[in-house]
C-alpha cells in the first residue's frame, strides 16, 4: 500500500491535467451510507426501486417517507471528511482540476472544491413536478408529505432518480473533461451506474492513467484502472497528499 501511495503521489505530480470521479463511497466517512457494498443504504428496501422515477410518479407519499426524508436528514448533518478536504487541497495546490461527482450531498463544494460537476444533480434544491420552480431544500414545509408547491404540484429533489436521464450538458462536459485529462482519480464508486460508469473508459481510451481508491475491488479493477489503492478514501487521500507534499518539497516546488 505504501508503495502505491508514493506511486500515486508521483503520478499526480507528473500529470498535467488531473480529474477526480467520485461516488457514494467518498461520503461514507461523513456518515452517509452508500447504496451498494457493506453497510449499504436502507436495508429495509431497495433504493433502486424506491428511488426510481416510476415509484415517485405512482406513490409520492411512499417515496418521500421511505427515501427523501431519511436522505434529507442524513445530508443535513453531514460534514466534509478528509477525502473531500484532500481533493479541495489538491485543487488549491494546482494539482487537480474538475471533480465529477455522482453524489448529491454538496460536500465537495462545502470542502472548498470550486469546479464540481454534479452529475446526478443535488439534494440541496427541490423542484416542483408541475411548474418546475426550484426552491432551496431547507425552505420546504415538511409538515405535510409530500410537500407541495403553491401551484399544487409535488416537490421532488433536484437530483437524477433511477430511470431518468443525466442533464445532457453535464454529461457532455464530464465526457469532455475526462477525454482531456492525463490522470483520473476514481474514488469511492462501484462504477456500475451508467452512464457515469463510462467516464473511466473515456479517460483510459484517450490515454489517461486511471487510479482507483476503494475499500473493495470494482468492475474497473484490473481491467480499466492501472491500479487500485485499497482503503478508506479519507485515509488514502490524506496519505497521498502527504507524500505529494514531500515530493514537491524535495523538488523545490511551491505548495
Please tell me the number of Cα atoms within 13 Å of 41 on its side-chain side: 22
Give the phi and the psi of residue 86 in degrees, each rounded to 5: -65, -40
Task: Find out whether 111 and 92 touch, Cβ atoms under 8 Å.
Answer: no
Pick from 20, 66, 104, 149 the residue near Zn ion by CB under 5 A: 149
Q: Which residue is nearest to ligand NAD (CB)?
A: 25
Pick from 18, 19, 23, 244 the residue near ligand NAD by CB under 6 A: 23
Q: Which is nearer to ligand NAD, 71 or 149 (CB)?
A: 71
Count of residues near Zn ion by CB under 5 A: 6
The cell numbers describing 93, all together, are 495546490
CA angle in degrees (0–180, nearest 5) for 241-228-210: 80
Report which of 223, 179, 180 is spatially closest to residue 199, judged by C-alpha positions: 179
Q: Which residues pair with 61 in a beta bridge?
A: none
Q: Which does 193 bind (CB under 5 to 8 A by kind): Zn ion, ligand NAD, none?
A: ligand NAD
Please tell me the number of Cα atoms within 13 Å of 36 on its side-chain side: 13
- In whole angstroms, the minimum distance from the beta carbon of 225 to Zn ion comes to 44
Task: Find out whether 216 and 192 touch, Cβ atoms under 8 Å.
Answer: no
Q: Which is nearer to Zn ion, 131 or 192 (CB)?
A: 131
Pick from 1, 48, 142, 151 the residue near Zn ion by CB under 5 A: 151
Distance between CA atoms of residues 59 and 55, nearest Å: 6
25 binding ligand NAD? (CB under 6 A): yes
Q: Which residue has the cell 478536504?
A: 85
Active centre residues (catalytic): 120
Q: Which is nearer to Zn ion, 99 or 149 (CB)?
A: 149
Q: Which is nearer to Zn ion, 48 or 131 (CB)?
A: 131
Q: Which is nearer to ligand NAD, 149 or 188 (CB)?
A: 188
Give the phi and the psi of residue 179 in degrees, each rounded to 5: -70, -25
Alpha-carbon torsion, ordered 177, 179, 184, 190, to 10 deg:
90
Pick from 24, 66, 174, 178 the residue near ligand NAD by CB under 6 A: 24
Q: Which stretch binds ligand NAD (CB under 6 A): 26-34, 56-64, 110-118, 240-248?
A: 26-34
- Residues lying near Zn ion in the complex (CB under 5 A) are found at 128, 130-131, 149, 151, 153
Which residues are at the interface with ligand NAD (CB under 6 A)?
23-25, 27-29, 32, 34-37, 41, 102-105, 120, 188-190, 193, 213-216, 218, 232-233
Amino acid at each position: 500500500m505504501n508503495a502505491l501511495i508514493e506511486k500515486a503521489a508521483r503520478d499526480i505530480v507528473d500529470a498535467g491535467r488531473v480529474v477526480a470521479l467520485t461516488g457514494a463511497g467518498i461520503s461514507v466517512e461523513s456518515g452517509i451510507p452508500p447504496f451498494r457494498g457493506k453497510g449499504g443504504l436502507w436495508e429495509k428496501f431497495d433504493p433502486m426501486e424506491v428511488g426510481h422515477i416510476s415509484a415517485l410518479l405512482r406513490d409520492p407519499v411512499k417515496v418521500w417517507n421511505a427515501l427523501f426524508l431519511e436522505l434529507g436528514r442524513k445530508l443535513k448533518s453531514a460534514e466534509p471528511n478528509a477525502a473531500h478536504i484532500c481533493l479541495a487541497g489538491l485543487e488549491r495546490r494546482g494539482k487537480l482540476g474538475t471533480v465529477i461527482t455522482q453524489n448529491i450531498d454538496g460536500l465537495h463544494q462545502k470542502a472548498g472544491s470550486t469546479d464540481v460537476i454534479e452529475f446526478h444533480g443535488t439534494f440541496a434544491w427541490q423542484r416542483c413536478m408541475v411548474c418546475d420552480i426550484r426552491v432551496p431544500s431547507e425552505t420546504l414545509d415538511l409538515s405535510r408529505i409530500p410537500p407541495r408547491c403553491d401551484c399544487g404540484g409535488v416537490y421532488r429533489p433536484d437530483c437524477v432518480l433511477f430511470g431518468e436521464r443525466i442533464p445532457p450538458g453535464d454529461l457532455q462536459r464530464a465526457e469532455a473533461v475526462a477525454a482531456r485529462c492525463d490522470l483520473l482519480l476514481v474514488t469511492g464508486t462501484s462504477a456500475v451506474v451508467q452512464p457515469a460508469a463510462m467516464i473511466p473508459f473515456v479517460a483510459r481510451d484517450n490515454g489517461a492513467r486511471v487510479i482507483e481508491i476503494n475499500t473493495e475491488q470494482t468492475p474497473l479493477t484490473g481491467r480499466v484502472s492501472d491500479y487500485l489503492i485499497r482503503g478508506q478514501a479519507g485515509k488514502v487521500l490524506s496519505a497521498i497528499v502527504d507524500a505529494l507534499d514531500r515530493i514537491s518539497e524535495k523538488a523545490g516546488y511551491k505548495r
